[in-house]
Chain A
Amino acid sequence: MNIKMSGINKAFGGNPVLRDAGFELSDGEIHALMGENGAGKSTLMKILTGVYTKDAGEIYVDGQEVCYKNPQEAEKAGIVFIHQELNVLFDMTVEENMFLGKEITKKFGVCDKQAMRAEVKKILDTLGVNISPAASMDTLSIGQQQMIEIAKALMVDAKVIIMDEPTAALTQKETEVLFGVVRSLKEKGVSIVYISHRMEEIFELCDRITILRDGQYIGTREISKTDMTEVVKMMIGREIGERYPERDVKIGDIAFEVKDLNCPGVFSDISFQVRAGEVLGVAGLMGAGRTEIMQSIFGNMPNVTGQIFVEGKEVHNKNPEQAMKNGIGFITEDRKTEGLMLEESIMKNIAITNLGRISSNGVLNKKSEMDMVKAGIEELHIKCTGPDHYCNKLSGGNQQKVVFAKWIFTDPKVLILDEPTRGVDIGAKKEIYSIINNLAAQGVAIIMVSSELPEVLGMSDRIMVITEGKIGGFIDRQDANQENVMILATGGQNDGK
């Protein structure tokens, strides 16, 4: 199936999001769609699949002009959109989720569970993932849930699959599995539109790339005839320079230490140190226990034993409130559900971690609150209309900056970052790296968990690799590369290949 979109315009409430945007897709190709957040990638694809209606422009599918009125029509035509935000019913099983709305029934509308389970198993097997059809959705990792979403698309026999940031939550291994599936789909003649921020993946996987900027079509290139520098330049309209800004920090004394941290069944024997001004990268596969270790340090996990020291003094973090008082800050991996109150203003969000600072005797001081929030917006370059801007109306990068602002004012001695740049565009990523560097320069000990290996390699002074709940090893910056980190992360074996 080939698709040609041209001259597409779309505005929301007088705000133009797409201006003369276009896109072409050929039979059986993997076509990357790139652009910064807000460039209009998702909007363009939502217009193609009938989620939104276009204001102007033309869409041709196999030479015929089309205009799908809703996603169901597009799906019938063979175009499936796998959204970034997972569309999952957590209390139901894998099989129930996959067949929702298209259940196989016997007489009188009785569900044919066996037939459905067999079908689910077949599709999951082709994906190479080992998930039971009877498993409840909420017992699966985010990565596994993503796989189920992809399986759902395969179920309707799609000719074009649009994937919006499919690997954002996947481990390296799951990503490789996904790539294998995508390539085999391509061989069967299915075309893939691949929306991603991850340059390395696009250059590994895709045939062509189309770039949008500020809602406009910028250009299309053959992957083999372009390079990352050109793509980045097309995306942001200028040279970005080094992706990971230089950090010139004198690393100080040991600021933070963990000894023999254990949580039965989750992780064991976790001991490490971080020095003031040091960035300790934490790598590992998803499900290795990285997030759980960090949550434990922050007092948000039950049944944890072990010792934690901040600047040489032992602390007991029974809950996040105490951890905070003991000088620890925590930027969680999911800013939407854990990091922010999305329906509140920037001001209320930054204030909530700093209530002590802006109040006396329990009464808030509006002026010091306003001063603090304005300083945060200015220092971190948060793009907004002001302190009253609602967080759900900010881009991902700016939301993440608000989360950083929340913690910067608490003057943490140790700051834990769990996936600090997930779902953030390149420009904002670089700004966040600069924020991290500034914090390190101020002597904050930084622990950075990330599933993006280039980021871990580019930002860390040392890398701690977690494998199956244990420390696989430490690697210094100068010795680190993708291979030796992955070998440690997979328990020393080169599995999966």
Chain B
Amino acid sequence: MESNKLMNKIQDLGALIALIALVLVISIISPQFRTIDNFLSLVRQSSINGFIAFGMTCVILTGGIDLSVGSTLALSTAFCASFIKGGMPVGIAMILALLIGVGCGLVSGTLVTKGRLQPFIATLITMTVYRGITMIFMDGKPISGLGSSFLLKFVGKGSLFGIPFPVILFVLVFLLFFFVLQKTVFGRRVYATGSNAESAKLSGVNINKTKLITYAISGGMAALSGLILLSRLASAQPTLGNGYELDAIASVALGGTSMNGGRGRIWGTFVGVLIIAVLNNGLNIMGVSSYYQSVVKGIVILIAVLSDRKR
């Protein structure tokens, strides 16, 4: 029994062990990889996927999925950029962008709960429509020339005490999600909804409300991610965020969250996000072509998910 528990512990930490192993191996191979600067920039890059993946974790824990995050990101940044270009104070434009993201999530969530569409289909629909609206709104062209507001630059490029702001925000948001999922009534409801929706409903959990909120969170996090990108690129692109849902879902899966819902850990997603980032960054530094990178990434996810299935 004792050795069983130990094995479970090791499997619980499997993703973390894999991350450490990856970092060690790439560090040995590549001197450029093992610098503090590179690590900071790696984590900064990963935060963009990270915010989305945290929101995605909540949705997946309820037994759903959100394919619309990439399009939501594009839509909210497009509006934000045009607000800023139109002369709106940057802070207000950013808050509006976050609200647009939340709104996008609410629409997906309503299709799932009230519309009783399968989450995959519902968010496939919103993914397509949001991308279309973005294209129409921008007329297919980027929006740039956003001025030189301090806030706009700081969000993506600024640092506090030498640590990039996105990295700080990434850690703070992680702690917030950890707290909400582990310590609050809402978190317990998220897990219960995914574990057995019927039982949760008959135990007085409003499962529709719970699901709706997770989609709203997911939309809001996609928009937050978009703000970091907007700041870094100093422009909004209509194709921004294309395919981001896949990296986010991969991170969640790497972290050991069950795609059926009810089972999973936010710190697992945190580690999953870092694994994806280390792979992207490390393989780039080592000069591996992007074609091979995709294959390597796929294989790493396969191994992670297979080793997770044993328990």
Contacts and interface: CB of A to CB of B under 8 A. Distances in A.
Interface of A: 298, 300, 319-321, 323-325, 330, 332, 337-344, 348, 351-353, 355-356, 359, 362-364, 406, 410
A194 B206 CA distance: 43
B196 A342 contact: yes
Contacts of B185: 355-356, 359, 362-364
B202 A320 contact: yes
A364 B186 CA distance: 9
Given A319-B201, A348-B191, 12 more contacts: A320-B203, A332-B202, A338-B202, A341-B195, A341-B199, A341-B200, A351-B188, A352-B189, A352-B192, A355-B185, A356-B185, A362-B186
Interface in B172-208: 183-186, 188-189, 191-192, 195-196, 198-206
Contacts, number: 73
A363 B185 CA distance: 6
Query: Chain B at the A interface: mostly helix, strand, loop or mixed?
Result: helix
A334 to B, nearest CB: 9
A320 B208 CA distance: 12
A337 B201 CA distance: 12
B263 interface: yes
Contact of A359 (B184, B196, B200, B201): B184
15 contacts: A298-B202, A321-B206, A323-B204, A343-B262, A344-B262, A348-B192, A351-B188, A352-B188, A352-B189, A352-B192, A352-B203, A355-B185, A355-B188, A359-B184, A364-B188
B195 A337 contact: no
B206 A337 contact: no
A332 B201 CA distance: 12
Contact of B201 (A300, A325, A364, A406): A300
A111 to B, nearest CB: 30
Contacts of B184: 359, 362-364
B203 A348 contact: no
Residue among A337, A341, A362 with the highest chain B CB neighbour number at 10 A: A341
Given A343-B195, A363-B184, A352 B202 contact: no
B168 to A, nearest CB: 24
B204 A337 contact: no
Contacts of B183: 363-364
Interface in B77-127: none
A351 B205 CA distance: 11
A214 B195 CA distance: 33
B196 A340 contact: yes
B204 A324 contact: yes
3 tightest A-B CB contacts, nearest first: A324-B204, A341-B195, A341-B196
Contacts of A351: 188
Contacts of B203: 320, 324, 352-353, 406
Contacts of B202: 298, 300, 320, 330, 332, 338-339
A426 B195 CA distance: 30
Given A321-B205, A355-B185, A362-B184, A339 B199 contact: yes
A356 B203 CA distance: 12
A338 to B, nearest CB: 5
